[in-house]
Structure 1
Amino acid sequence: MEKSDNSQTGPQISVVVPFYNEEANVEELYRRLKKVLDKLKRTYELIFIDDGSTDKTPEILQKIYEKDELVKIIRLRKNFGQTAALQAGFDFAQGEIIISMDGDLQHDPEDIPLFLAKMNEGYDVVSGWRKKRVDNLFLRRIPSLVANRIMKWLSGVEIHDFGTTFKAYKKEVIKKVHLYGELHRFIPALTSRTGVKITEIPIKNVVRQRGKSKYGLSRVRRVFFDLITVKFIISFIDRPLQFFGLIGVIFGSIGFAIAATLTIGFYFFGWSIRENLGNLILSVFLMMMGLQLVMTGLLAEILSRVYFATHKVKIYSVEKILSREKPPAEFWN
């Protein structure tokens, strides 16, 4: 059994890997991670999350845990999705630097030292950049290119590849991020609102050799709505009234201008209300819509305050934890 030299203050590095039906890749990825991390001469932990796998992934992870005390296993009750699995791993991780990556061997553990070297330059988040992608052109590369350019424009974060899971974070940065939906791919954008230093490094993009890909065109629709969500979170999550209120004022002002024009025309130029009934209805509709949007903004403002005071609801449910150490207190909060 591997002996841990982690100090009481916790490991220096945590590697978080979610798995879903990856029985063909688990052992190989584990061996390659051990080979790379053992060379670093730094304390570390491996956190493997079984996201409700229905193949032999749980059994393989169990065997790995039994022979290596640096491995911690989190088994979720069902398949909650990659975002929830990563959130569980981030909540559990204790390393000063937390690295996330996929479990399908498309991320090369040999790139981990490159992330650490960049973190040593003072960055808070280092994102991988699949500069030379080998994915399917129409199913993966083109949708990804469009989404990345939109996200770069919306967030102002100067990186090329938001979508890859292969990233490194300072503990104090990622612990403050609360994920839901499928927002894991946009963590750099979510953290940018707090002023953290973000950069990227080129990484290898390896063709999947074993197992079945979990991605397809069905993800495009979800990514589109996630882009809107991320933009709202970055710019308006703590001041939603400015978003809804601005739109409401615009609609209300247009409606008021139409109504004012009709009023002046009626009293001073003899316009017929009957002939302008459509415009009158439009003006009333726009003013009511504007009022409703302002009220929505006020309600969202209140909900935003409640969110920041009470956002402790987990987006995952743990069935079992395999760890020789007590989980961090915040994992249960």
Structure 2
Amino acid sequence: MKVSVVLPAKNEAEGLRRTLPALAATLPGAEVIVVDDGSTDDTAAVAASLGARVLSAPYSMGNGAAIKRGARAATGEVIVFMDADGQHDPALIPQLLARLEAGFDMVVGARDGSGQASVGRGLANRLYNRLASWMTNHEVKDLTSGFRAVRADKFREFLHLLPNGFSYPTTSTMAFFRSAYAVAYLPIKAAQRVGKSHIRPLRDGLRFLVIIFKIATLYAPLKLFLPASAVFFLLGCANYAWTFLHTGRLTNMSTLLWSAAVIVFLIGLISEQITALTYRRDA
């Protein structure tokens, strides 16, 4: 099967000098696409000089946007996504491909604790993994890893769902689980990146929190809305018990909490139906 390798790159000239030669040695016949996301250094020139096909954007559109552009341009039956900063070892790609040949539709390189950029991001990723595992009823070992191999036709089904920012691994993984496509994990060790990370903890902290809720609403909204509805209902019951014992009457607060429980439940029910329509292949 023909393999395309897509590397989103923003100011990653130094990383590409290390990654592309190793990639050519591992997969000499593969199509290599470097998506230059508005770099201000010589990323595009370095990639072209090392034999990669370069797709350049006039300005930065985001990591997810680069992934989508690369996926549309790839001609292989299988697409391998990896970072251009030297964190991912091209020598591991044959192991990813072997798992695809065994019948899986997506194989993700799952990092251990040493592969996380910082303690804070490591804790956040563990939180994401636990939430995703609860949502899917499958063990999710690394929800945010950008090193993965996918069947191209299946991955393209979900391009309209992928954000332009940094959460494309999260969205694509949950989409594959939702559509009953088989997902496997390959344990890997990620090296330290070359250069400076584009993620800003303070700026991106709130955005990553939103991703948690996006995971829930993207995959199974009722698993988020039903517990919230139950909390409102129980609070209404508790408030009614308290006011009845002390004043012998039903207050507006209990009624308001029960109304909120019904509204939240109905929103969850509607969201569940919308999610089902989102994953229809003919939608």
Which residue of 2 is the match for residue 223 of structure 1?
A: 208
The code of the aligned residue for 1:14 comes to S
- Measure, in 2, the Cα distance between the counterparts of 1:145 and 1:130: 11
| Percent identity of equivalent pairs | 25
- Structure 1 pair 228/59, CA: closer, same or farther in 2 (3 Å)? same
Amino acid at match of 1:58: A
Distance 1:280 1:32 in 2: 70
2:11 aligned partner: 21
TM-score by length of 1: 0.69
Residue aligned with 2:97, SS: helix
- State yes or no: 1:47 paired with 2:33: yes
Structure 2 length-normalised TM:
0.80
Q: Residues 215 and 298 from structure 1, CA distance in 2 versus in 1: closer, same or farther, beyond 3 angstroms?
A: closer
Which residue identity does 1:283 align to in structure 2?
Answer: S
Whether 2:248 is the aligned partner of 1:280: answer no
**Bigger relative contact order, structure 1 or 2, given CA contacts below 8 A and separation 6+?**
1
Residue number in structure 2 paired with 1:200: 185
Matched with 1:119 is 100
Deviation at residue 189 of structure 1 after TM alignment: 2.8
Contact 2:135 2:220 in 1 (8 A): no
The answer to whether the 8 A contact 2:144-2:167 is kept is: no
Structure 1 or 2, whichever has the larger Rg, is 1
Q: What CA distance in whole angstroms lies between the structure 2 residues aligned with 1:148 and 1:288? A: 33
One of 131, 136, 144 as aligned partner of 1:155: 136
Give per-residue Cα distances to partners, 1:113-148, cap 9 Å, x unaligned.
Answer: 111122221111111122362545524433333333
State the AA in 1 paired with 2:211. Answer: D
Instruction: Choose from 152, 162, 165 the match for 1:179.
Output: 162
Moved segments of 4+, more than 6 Å: 256-262
Q: Distance in 1 between matches of 2:71 and 2:23?
A: 18
2:149 aligned residue (168, 173, 177): 168
Call closer, same or farther: CA 1:246–1:26 in 2, change over 3 Å.
closer
- Number of residue pairs matched by the alignment: 278
Separation of aligned partners in 2, 1:141 and 1:246: 27
Alignment gaps of 5+ in structure 2: none
Could you tell me which amino acid in structure 2 is paired with residue 146 of structure 1? L
Distance (Å, rounded) in 2 between the aligned partners of 1:190 and 1:62: 33
Give per-residue Cα distances to partners, 1:10-55, cap 9 Å, x unaligned.
Answer: x7101110001112122332211111111xxxx5311111112122
Matched residue type, 2:63: Q
CA distance in 2, matches of 1:303, 1:195: 18
d(CA) in 2 for partners of 1:230, 1:195: 16
Residue identity in the other structure for 2:23: L
What is residue 188 of structure 1 aligned with on the other side?
173
How far apart are the structure 1 equivalents of 2:100 and 2:73? 21
Determine the C-alpha separation between the residues in 1 that align with 2:150 and 2:227. 35
* Cα offsets for 1:277-323 (capped at 9, x unmatched): 7x4211332344345435645765786588668x99xxxxxxxxxxx
Whose helix fraction is larger, Structure 1's or Structure 2's? 2
AA in 1 matched with 2:112: K
Map 1:1-333 onto structure 2 (within 5 A): 12-38=2-28, 43-64=29-50, 68=51, 71-131=52-112, 133-177=114-158, 178-180=161-163, 181-186=165-170, 187-208=172-193, 210-218=194-202, 219-236=204-221, 244=225, 251=232, 275=247, 279-290=250-261, 292-293=263-264, 296-297=267-268, 300=271
Change (3 A) 1:250 1:27: closer
